A and B are shown apart, each in its own frame.
Chain A
Amino acid sequence: MQIICISRGSHGYSSELAEKLSKIVGFTTISREQITDKATEYGIPVGKLEMQIVRQRPLSEEMSIVADMYKAFSTAYVCERALKENIIYHGRTGHLMLPGLTNVLRIRAIAEQEYRIKLVMERLKITREKAKNFIFHIDEDIRKWTHTLYNSDLNDPSKYDLTLNSANLSTENAAKALASFVELPEFQETASTNQALQNLLLAANCRLAIGSDDHSRNVDVGIQADNGNVSVTYMPRQSNEAKAIPDVLKSIEGVKSLVCTVATTNVLYMAEKFDPADERFISLTEIAKKWNAAVELVRIAEEDEQPPAYPPESLLPIVTSTNGETGGILDDSDREVSRDEQGFGITETLDKLIQLGLAGGSRTIYGGVDELFRSQIKTGQYSLVAIGDVFSAKGAAAQRLKRDMLSKLKEKFRVPVIGTEDLKARYLFGPKQLFNMIGFAVLFALVYLAVFNFQEPILTFVSKGQFEGTLFEKAIAALAVLVSIPVVAFSIGGFYGNFLKMLKVE
Chain B
Amino acid sequence: MPGFLGEMFVQMTLPIALQIVLLGFIGGILSGFIGSGGAFFMTPGMMNLGIMGPVAVASNITHKFGKAMVGSKKHGELGNVDKKLAFFMLFTAFVGIRLAVEVMKALFNVQGSHGEGGGAAADLYISIIFAVILLLVAVSMLADLIKSKSSEETGPSTKIVEFISRLKLHPLIYFPVADVYVSLWVILICGLATGYLAGTIGVGGFIGVPAMIYVFGVPAAVAAGSELYLAMFMGAWGALNYAFEGMVDIRCTLLLYGGSLLGIYIGAYGTKVVKEAVIRLTTGVIILLCVLSRIVAIPVYLQKLGFSNMDPSYNDYFNLASKSLLFVSGISGAVIIMFFVQKAYFQRRKLETSLSLAETPSST
Residues of A within 8 A of B (CB): 48, 52, 55-63, 143-144, 147, 228, 236-237, 239, 243, 245-246, 249-262, 264-265, 292, 320, 322-325, 327, 331, 333-334, 336, 354, 356-359, 413-416, 447-448, 451-452, 455-456, 458-460, 462-467, 469, 474-475, 477-482, 484-486, 488-490, 492-493, 496-497, 500, 505-506
| CB closest residue in chain A, given B354 | A322
Counting from the closest, the 4 A-B pairs by CB-CB distance are A357-B353, A489-B66, A414-B79, A465-B246
Interface contact B359-A250, CB-CB below 8 Å: yes
Given contacts A466-B246, A485-B253, A492-B257, contact A63 B154 (CB under 8 A): yes
Given A58-B219, A236-B273, A261-B353: A447 in contact with B254 (beta carbons within 8 A): yes
- How many residues in B have their beta carbons less than 8 Å from beta carbons of A? 74
Contacts of B322-364 to chain A: CB distance below 8 A: 344-345, 347-348, 350-363
For residue A249, give the distance in angstroms from its CB to the closest CB of chain B: 7
Q: Is B239 an interface residue (CB 8 A)?
A: yes
With contact pairs A264-B273, A334-B363, A481-B62 given, residues A488 and B257 touching in the complex (Cβ less than 8 Å): yes
For B162, give its contact among A55, A455, A489 (CB under 8 Å).
Answer: A55
Q: Are A459 and B357 in contact (CB under 8 A)?
A: no
Chain A residues positioned under 8 Å from B363 (CB to CB): 228, 254-257, 334, 336
Q: Which of B152, B245, B351, B356 contacts A236 (CB 8 A)?
A: B351
- Bound together, the chains give a CA A482 to CA B63 distance in angstroms of 10
Select one of B5, B344, B355 contacting A260, CB under 8 A. B355
A482 close to B243 (CB less than 8 A): yes
Q: Is the CB of B78 within 8 A of A415?
A: yes
Cα–Cα distance between A357 and B355 once the two chains are bound (Å): 9
Contact: B155 with A57, CB < 8 Å? yes
Q: For residue B94, give the distance in angstroms from its CB to the closest CB of chain A.
A: 14
| Cross-interface CB contact of B356 among A251, A252, A333, A469, cutoff 8 Å | A333
Q: In the assembled complex, which residues on chain A have CB atoms less than 8 Å from the CB atom of B154?
A: 52, 57, 59-60, 62-63
Distance between B236 CB and nearest chain A CB, rounded to angstroms = 6
How far is the CB of A38 from the nearest CB of chain B, in Å?
Answer: 23
Contact call A463/B9, Cβ cutoff below 8 A = yes
Tell me which of B5, B62, B78, B239 contacts A463 (CB under 8 A).
Answer: B5
Query: In the complex, A372→B351 CA distance in Å?
Result: 34
Residues of B contacting A257 in the complex (Cβ-Cβ under 8 angstroms) = 356-357, 360, 363
Q: Kindly state whether residue B12 has any CB partner on chain A within 8 Å.
A: yes
A458 adjacent to B5 (CB under 8 Å) = no
- Per the bound structure, the CA–CA distance linking A74 and B274 in Å amounts to 31
23 CB < 8 A contacts A-B: A48-B152, A52-B155, A59-B154, A61-B275, A144-B179, A228-B363, A237-B274, A246-B356, A246-B357, A322-B355, A322-B356, A356-B353, A415-B78, A416-B77, A462-B246, A466-B245, A466-B246, A475-B244, A477-B243, A481-B62, A489-B66, A489-B257, A490-B69
A-binding segment of B41-49, B184-192, B203-211, B258-266: B258-266
- How far, in angstroms, from A69 to B63 measured CA to CA in the complex? 44
Tell me, in angstroms, the Cα distance from A416 to B62 when the chains sit together.
29
Which of A60, A322, A415, A478 has a CB less than 8 Å from the CB of B244?
A478
Tell me the nearest residue of chain A to B159, going by C-beta. A55
Contact A236 B358, CB 8 Å, known A481-B248, A492-B261: no
CB-CB under 8 A for A492 and B258, given A255-B363, A323-B354: yes
4 additional contacts, CB 8 Å, given A255-B357, A255-B360, A459-B4? Answer: A52-B153, A252-B362, A359-B354, A488-B257
**By the criterion CB–CB under 8 Å, are B351 and A239 in contact?**
yes
Q: Is the CB of B158 within 8 A of A57?
A: yes
Compute how far the CA of A422 lies from the CA of B193 in the bound complex, rounded to whole angstroms: 44
Q: Do residues B65 and A256 form an inter-chain contact, with CB atoms below 8 A?
A: no
Can you name the residue of chain A whose Cβ is closest to the Cβ of B180? Answer: A56
B275 touches A237 (CB 8 A): yes
- Nearest residue (CB) in B for A63 is B154
| Interface: B161 (CB within 8 A) | yes
Mark contacts of B269-288 with chain A using CB atoms, 8 A cut-off: 1 yes-contact digit, 0 otherwise. 10011111000000000000
Known contacts A58-B219, A466-B5, A486-B66; decide if A262 and B79 are in contact (CB<8 Å). Answer: no
Whole-angstrom CA separation of A211 from B276 in the bound complex: 19
Distance between Cα atoms of A480 and B262 in the complex (Å): 25
B67 at the interface (CB under 8 A from A): yes
Nearest residue, chain A, Cβ from B260: A492
> Closest CB-CB distance, B189 to chain A, in whole Å?
20
Question: Is B261 in contact with A493, judged by CB distance below 8 angstroms?
Answer: yes
Give the complex CA separation of A506 and B344 in angstroms. 12
Contact A477 B344 (CB under 8 A): no
Whether the pair B354, A357 counts as a contact (CB closer than 8 A) is yes
A333 near B236 with CB under 8 A, answer no
Asked whether B18 is an interface residue with its Cβ less than 8 Å from the other chain, the reply is no
